[in-house]
A and B are shown apart, each in its own frame.
Chain A
Amino acid sequence: MAGKIYGKPVAFAVMATVVILVGSIVTMAYPMLRPEMHPRLDALKPFSALQLAGRDLYQREGCVGCHTQTVRPLASEVARYGEYSKAGEFAYDRPFLWGSKRTGPDLARESWLKPSEAWQKRHLRNPQEVFPRSNMPRYAFLEQAKLDPAETASHMRALMRVGTPYTDAQIAAETAALAGKTEMDALVAYVVSLGSAVPKPKIDLAKLDLATANPHGDDPAAVARGQKLYVDQCSACHGDDARGQEGTFPSLVDEVFLGQPGDGTDGAYFAIIAGGSDAKGRLGRAGMPDGGMAAFAGQLTDDDIWDVISYLRAQKAHEAKETPKTEAGEHGQPVEKHQ
């Protein structure tokens, strides 16, 4: 009997189909019936119109070819990117965009790591301006194109049909607000939203004593450790020389702190580094814009943060001595920066 099937093409094809379907059903179809394949984090919200338009662009430009969006539960990945990815973060992802190649860094925790829209735009316009040896293409052309609210509205309605909880009123209101926005605005809004459904480690800002002096002082070992951390974590925005970027990222070596004259205390520096933009309320600085500064409490230990402050103080002292005769850049180290 066994040999007969090789003379009966239809029976053969039916048998081949059955054989093929066994594994497909067990590993692909059956899991869909299980609740573990349909989790949703409580904090997860559907993409806003602007974020969805950005996600569409993320797809259009093939960002997924170089950037992953899934942090694996490995110590080194959690240290680099933050909390590992949860199944419940992706309930509204159609399709998933986890990617399979990390030519550039993972973006799953971009809302934790690079929340500044100004930085994202600067980097997208010309990545080599931020990281001279980066191989990322320039995306300045996204600023030339305006979004089409009607198109995004039709995309939202399609998603509504497959269960994304949008309402007609929401679609109308959110897409109307897209008028005049550029593709760059949308892509950046999407990217800085990544990972926001997962609670980021926070410190209790209220408990901080802003008068605390840096326990590491000007210890040269602390300055050296702080320099490495600064290059890895801070220089992408505040510059190799810590002088910042006019209008966006403040200089860390001048006599202005968070938009007001006069430098901050060590404790105030600690608060803004550990708490990011959330520390604004605690510090009471009206001159500081909302958002933009990442909170480093999860990534850096208290000692790390004091090291960075030691380095910044040393840098400032150095700057004060050198400024009259040299231009910036001398202290910038040719070490590669952290992403």
Chain B
Amino acid sequence: MNDYRYDHRTVEGFILSAIVWGVVGILVGLLISVQLWAPGMNFAPYLTYGRLRPVHTNGLAFGLGVGAIFGLSYWIVMRLCKRPLLFPRLARVQLWLFNVGIAAAAVTLAMGYTQSNEYAELEWPLDIAIVVLWVMFAVNVFGTVIKRREEQMYVSLWYVLATVVAVAVLYIVNNLAIPAGFLKSYHLFAGVNSANVQWWYGHNAVGFVFTTPILAMFYYFLPKSTGLPIYSHRLSIVAFWSLVFAYLWTGAHHLVYTPLPDWIQTLAIVFTLFLIAPSWGSVVNGYYTVGQDWSKMKTGYLTKFFVLGITFYGLQTVQGPTQALRVVSQLIHFTDWVPGHVHMGTMGWVTLTVTASIYYVIPRIYGIEIHSERLANLHFWFALVGQLLFSITMWITGIQQGAMWKVMENGKLKYSFLEGLVRNYPYWHTRTLAGIVFTVGMLFFVYNVLRTIQKGRALEAQRAPAAPAAATA
């Protein structure tokens, strides 16, 4: 034991909670993917597609995503500050509140209490709870960073700090609403303003939940797990500031061809194109980091998770700007192409990076190895195949849908809406299959992590009477 102890239990608690909500979110995702081609699977009002879709998105974005972000950010912050959390008890309370909050979110969404804004569905009492949670997180992060024992803040800390302030601003502004009952409210903004504020928020939820904190993990765990230093510090500085500057201008690319004033749409499209540069700054940095020694792909089982993760990030950040172009948007917007795009980011970039980080952290809490590298490798391939199958089928059917909506002959539409809809069915079947493959992979991951914890705890119990466990890494 060093002269201080990291608060591993809280980190582990967040990771386990994230895993639980991740499994719930993925299973709900499987169910709604089936409902899309089998309407008879909408069993009861609270199990209809319309109500469960936000349970899926919130469960995974906030349950799995934010849960993992809390836990892994704390791990990163403690290591990079060389000290335990400043308020360990506050973090424990935060862990409990987090789980109560996500459970309440799932239940109220299934009951139909929703603000209807994507990724901001939760009604106002839950919004308040989330703000409280975030303030707890911010207090601990800032407190610990201010009282750090390491002069310079490493790049991962920049991303964590930027996440903390950006999410606070975004979440509070977009959730401003006038309460109309215990679980009912109306957006403070009306019509086009409501749309503009929502997508300013919505796209930056992607930016500051699915990007910056995940980059924090990437910049920390990639060098840690490979032993290779980040290739270019200067590149990470340029990429950081240009990313957090440009992201906030881009929300309206979700509103191309809507009644939102054209100049806001155009500005968003321009900044979206610009975003390729900082995004690829991190991609290039990642590649050149591993490029210092490609044999790490073979010798370290986690390297491929990070390399594939950043590859999907790179693809995602080229595909996204392409979609923002008016000529592309008019074909693929509103179609299944978009879920294909989103899932490359979430199932590819985010999940690969988060699960790899968890594989790194969990054994180190106990000073042991992962239960099974083989199983982890299997998880990797299932996740990769599942995700590719998912995205590719959605892209194909999305283009087909968009085209069938557009085809006109002699000034008349060639296809009815339903003719377009039914063409999706084979692809929707395949998407469910892809989801099953991905889920099996995730279950390997869950099993592996749980077995590792079980082993670690058994070992801890053995060692406890003799000597206190050594703090690791």
Q: A residues touching B (Cβ–Cβ < 8 Å)?
A: 6-7, 9-10, 12-13, 16-17, 19-24, 26-28, 31-32, 34, 36-39, 56, 59-66, 68, 70, 72-77, 79-80, 85-87, 89-105, 127-128, 131, 133-138, 141, 151, 154-155, 157-159, 161-163, 231-232, 336-339
Query: Does B267 interact with chain A (Cβ within 8 Å)?
Result: yes
Q: Are B35 and A80 in contact (CB under 8 A)?
A: no
**Interface 1/0s, chain B 1-38, versus A by CB < 8 A?**
00000000000000000000000000000000001111
Q: Are B249 and A100 in contact (CB under 8 A)?
A: no
Cα–Cα distance between A91 and B194 once the two chains are bound (Å) = 10
Q: Are B419 and A95 in contact (CB under 8 A)?
A: no
Q: Are B54 and A76 in contact (CB under 8 A)?
A: no
Known: A21-B169, A155-B186, A158-B186. 11 other contacts (CB 8 A): A19-B241, A62-B114, A65-B49, A65-B50, A86-B259, A96-B194, A96-B198, A98-B255, A162-B186, A336-B418, A337-B416
What are 26 residue pairs bridging A and B, where the CB atoms are less than 8 Å apart in the complex?
Answer: A7-B151, A9-B161, A13-B164, A16-B158, A19-B245, A20-B166, A22-B245, A23-B245, A34-B261, A37-B196, A66-B49, A85-B258, A89-B191, A90-B190, A95-B117, A100-B118, A131-B418, A137-B35, A137-B49, A158-B179, A158-B181, A159-B180, A337-B418, A338-B416, A339-B416, A339-B417
**Residue among A28, A76, A141, A151 having the largest count of chain B Cβ atoms under 10 Å:** A28
Contacts of A74 in B (CB 8 A): 257, 330, 406
Q: How far is the CB of B263 from chain A (nearest CB, A)?
A: 9
Q: Are B169 and A93 in contact (CB under 8 A)?
A: no
**Interface 1/0s, chain B 396-435, versus A by CB < 8 A?**
0000000001111001110011110110000000000000
Set A56, A90, A127, A134: member contacting B192, Cβ < 8 A: A90
Contacts of B193 in A (CB 8 A): 31-32, 37-38
**Residue among B50, B146, B187, B412 having the largest count of chain A Cβ atoms under 10 Å:** B50
Query: Does B184 interact with chain A (Cβ within 8 Å)?
Result: yes
Q: Are B406 and A90 in contact (CB under 8 A)?
A: no
Query: Does B197 interact with chain A (Cβ within 8 Å)?
Result: yes
Cα–Cα distance between A32 and B334 once the two chains are bound (Å) = 26
Q: Are A98 and B421 in contact (CB under 8 A)?
A: no
Q: Are B113 and A60 in contact (CB under 8 A)?
A: yes
Cα–Cα distance between A219 and B115 once the two chains are bound (Å) = 55
Contacts of A61 in B (CB 8 A): 45, 48, 50-51, 112
Q: Are A338 and B244 in contact (CB under 8 A)?
A: no
Q: How far is the CB of A155 from chain B (nearest CB, A)?
A: 5
Contacts of A17 in B (CB 8 A): 165, 169
Q: Are B50 and A66 in contact (CB under 8 A)?
A: yes
Set B180, B264, B416: member contacting A155, Cβ < 8 A: B180
Q: How far is the CB of A335 from chain B (nearest CB, A)?
A: 8
Report B209-255 residues with CB < 8 Å from chain A CB: 241, 244-252, 254-255
Rank and list the top 3 A-B pairs by shortest CB-CB distance, nearest first: A62-B50, A90-B191, A23-B248
Contacts of B185 in A (CB 8 A): 158
Q: How far is the CB of B167 from chain A (nearest CB, A)?
A: 10
Query: Does B178 interact with chain A (Cβ within 8 Å)?
Result: yes
Q: How far is the CB of B181 from chain A (nearest CB, A)?
A: 6
Q: Are B200 and A70 in contact (CB under 8 A)?
A: no
Chain A residue at minimum C-beta to C-beta distance from B51: A62
Contacts of B162 in A (CB 8 A): 16, 20
Set A19, A77, A137: member contacting B48, Cβ < 8 A: A137
Contacts of B249 in A (CB 8 A): 23, 26-27
Q: Are B191 and A87 in contact (CB under 8 A)?
A: yes
Query: Does B319 interact with chain A (Cβ within 8 Å)?
Result: no
Chain A residue at minimum C-beta to C-beta distance from B54: A62
Q: B residues touching A (Cβ–Cβ < 8 Å)?
A: 35-39, 42, 45, 48-51, 53-54, 112-118, 142, 145-146, 148, 151-153, 157-158, 161-162, 164-166, 169, 173, 178-181, 184-198, 200, 241, 244-252, 254-255, 257-261, 264, 267-268, 271, 330, 333-335, 338-339, 405-408, 411-413, 416-419, 421-422
Known: A37-B261, A135-B39. A20 touches B194 (CB 8 A): no
Cα–Cα distance between A206 and B81 once the two chains are bound (Å) = 82
Set A64, A79, A337: member contacting B116, Cβ < 8 A: A64
Set B248, B271, B412: member contacting A79, Cβ < 8 A: B412
Contacts of A95 in B (CB 8 A): 115-117, 186-187, 189, 194, 198
Contacts of A16 in B (CB 8 A): 158, 161-162, 165-166, 244
Q: Are B258 and A72 in contact (CB under 8 A)?
A: yes
Q: How far is the CB of B37 from chain A (nearest CB, A)?
A: 6
Q: Are B418 and A339 in contact (CB under 8 A)?
A: yes
**Chain B interface helix/strand/loop/mixed:** helix
Chain B residue at minimum C-beta to C-beta distance from A92: B190
Q: Are A96 and B245 in contact (CB under 8 A)?
A: no
Cα–Cα distance between A61 and B247 once the two chains are bound (Å) = 32
Chain A residue at minimum C-beta to C-beta distance from B32: A65
Cα–Cα distance between A47 and B251 once the two chains are bound (Å) = 29
Set B158, B244, B267, B407: member contacting A26, Cβ < 8 A: B267
Cα–Cα distance between A156 and B236 once the two chains are bound (Å) = 51
Q: How far is the CB of A139 from chain B (nearest CB, A)?
A: 8
Known: A21-B169, A60-B112, A94-B190. A136 touches B39 (CB 8 A): yes
Cα–Cα distance between A92 and B249 once the two chains are bound (Å) = 26
Contacts of B255 in A (CB 8 A): 98
Set A87, A99, A155: member contacting B260, Cβ < 8 A: A87
Contacts of A23 in B (CB 8 A): 245-250, 271
Set A6, A31, A59: member contacting B114, Cβ < 8 A: A59
Cα–Cα distance between A64 and B49 once the two chains are bound (Å) = 11
Cα–Cα distance between A131 and B419 once the two chains are bound (Å) = 11
Q: How far is the CB of A39 from chain B (nearest CB, A)?
A: 8
Q: How far is the CB of A100 from chain B (nearest CB, A)?
A: 7
Chain A residue at minimum C-beta to C-beta distance from B148: A9
Set A93, A100, A138, A231: member contacting B190, Cβ < 8 A: A93
Cα–Cα distance between A95 and B267 once the two chains are bound (Å) = 23
Q: How far is the CB of B342 from chain A (nearest CB, A)?
A: 10
Q: Are A31 and B196 in contact (CB under 8 A)?
A: yes
Cα–Cα distance between A231 and B417 once the two chains are bound (Å) = 12
Cα–Cα distance between A193 and B45 once the two chains are bound (Å) = 24
Cα–Cα distance between A336 and B334 once the two chains are bound (Å) = 21
Set A7, A24, A96: member contacting B248, Cβ < 8 A: A24
Q: How far is the CB of A29 from chain B (nearest CB, A)?
A: 9
Cα–Cα distance between A19 and B193 once the two chains are bound (Å) = 22
Cα–Cα distance between A100 and B185 once the two chains are bound (Å) = 21
